[in-house]
Structure 1
Amino acid sequence: MGIILASSSPRRRELMALITPDYTVRTSDVDERAIRAETPALLAQKLAAAKCRAVAESCPEDVVIGCDTVVDVDGAVFGKPADRDDARRMIRVLAGRGHLVHTGVCIAAQGRELCFAATTKVVFGALSDAEIEAYIATDDPYDKAGAYGVQNGAAKFVAGIEGCYFNVMGFPVSRVYNALKELDVL
């Protein structure tokens, strides 16, 4: 029985290694646009479950961990920005206010499945147009939900965090660790 992280995210790989170095990576080709949910937190959980199940189908003897992260601004979902204008729009909306980051996690192990969403509140300080333009001119916003990486250049925008910091990076380390223990994987 091996552990498979069903994610191509370099941040998730780095954080998974904090739990165990003994895992492999396998990605799925789930059409995320086809998945809908009543709330952003449930959407993150459904996306994670779809990714987990897609990989687990071909690896039933292994433990598979699927994840997905969305940014929630008053119920509106901010995924990865489509382009520079979309990144600008997202950062402008986030500036000077709070938002929620939901990471859905689904773990399939030994015929069982455990799914949950972890939520962290993040507050951005006020930002000038020049700060926004300088940030979206970097590569940082374009592969992250909400168009920002808390561990990179957007760190200077974050005025406060309530909840798990690692969840904002897309992988709630402690919750995943405890779920793996609950499933007798670790």
Structure 2
Amino acid sequence: MSVFLTSEPIILASASPSRRRMLEAAGVEVHAEAARVDEEEIKLSGKAAGMKPPEVAEALADLKASKLARKYTGPYIVGGDQMLECDGHWFDKPVDRADAANHLRRLSGRTHTLYSAVVVFHNGARVWHHIDHATLTMRSLSDDFIDRYLDAAGDAVLSCAGSYQVEGLGAQLFNKVKGDHFTIQGLPLLPLLDFLRVRKVLPA
């Protein structure tokens, strides 16, 4: 049974089960609703305009939150998104197992950066945002290990950029991680909790 500390529920503009689990584990009551946006188009247009990965992550988070902010008045609307960059290449979620294996081969033995953004709207206005990043160094992976890892991880790898969940079996992929664990999972949670305390959604 979940125990919530919030004075009112927030609306999470995301279908991400990871973000919802993080918030609920921290005592935040969440109503999750996916905001349908064309992420691929935003990434393509952002790259063409010379935007950097953290800017694109923020733009995606903003668009998701603002879309639901037009629908709801009263609750705080939280949008989040994440970008993965390695050697100038942006990685999206893999479309299938073969794509996931290709991602892991490309990231093997290299250091990449995850950028996580969160944007909050209230009563139709953007009231807060935060961007954080983490760097992760993946050890050199053999093809045999990649196959065994994908067998064990299953379809869960298709829900995350880079084809891993570091909070689970994905920890086997790395030999160095620098940054906040929540940021790596896709949400700068601690700054968001601070903001919710300032707004008295959470007790101080």
Equivalences for 1:1-186 in 2 at 5 Å? 2-36=9-43, 37=46, 38-110=51-123, 111-137=125-151, 138-186=154-202
Native 8 Å contact 1:28 1:55 kept in 2 = yes
RMSD: 1.7
Shift of 1:57: 0.9
Q: How far apart, in 1, do the equivalents of 2:163 and 2:172 lie? A: 14
Q: How far apart, in 2, do the equivalents of 1:4 and 1:45 lie? A: 18
Deviations, residues 75-125 of structure 1 (Å, cap 9, x unaligned): 321110112222111101111121111111111124342223210111111
Q: How far apart, in 2, do the equivalents of 1:19 and 1:63 lie? A: 16
Q: Tell me, which stretches of 5 or more residues in structure 1 are unaligned?
A: none
Query: What percentage of aligned pairs have identical amino acids?
Result: 30
Q: How far apart, in 2, do the equivalents of 1:129 and 1:173 lie? A: 35
Is the deviation greater in 176-185 or in 65-74? 176-185
The letter of the residue matching 1:34 is E
| TM-score w.r.t. length of structure 2 | 0.84
SS of 1:33's equivalent?
helix
Larger Rg: 2
Shift of 1:183: 4.4
Native 8 Å contact 1:39 1:75 kept in 2 = no
Q: How far apart, in 2, do the equivalents of 1:82 and 1:47 lie? A: 19
Q: How far apart, in 1, do the equivalents of 2:179 and 2:62 lie? A: 22
SS of 1:149's equivalent?
coil
Change (3 A) 1:46 1:106: same
Q: Tell me, which stretches of 5 or more residues in structure 2 are unaligned?
A: 1-7
Is the deviation greater in 11-20 or in 42-51? 11-20
Q: How far apart, in 2, do the equivalents of 1:72 and 1:35 lie? A: 16
Native 8 Å contact 1:66 1:107 kept in 2 = yes
Q: How far apart, in 2, do the equivalents of 1:183 and 1:77 lie? A: 35
SS of 2:162's equivalent?
helix
Native 8 Å contact 1:140 1:152 kept in 2 = no
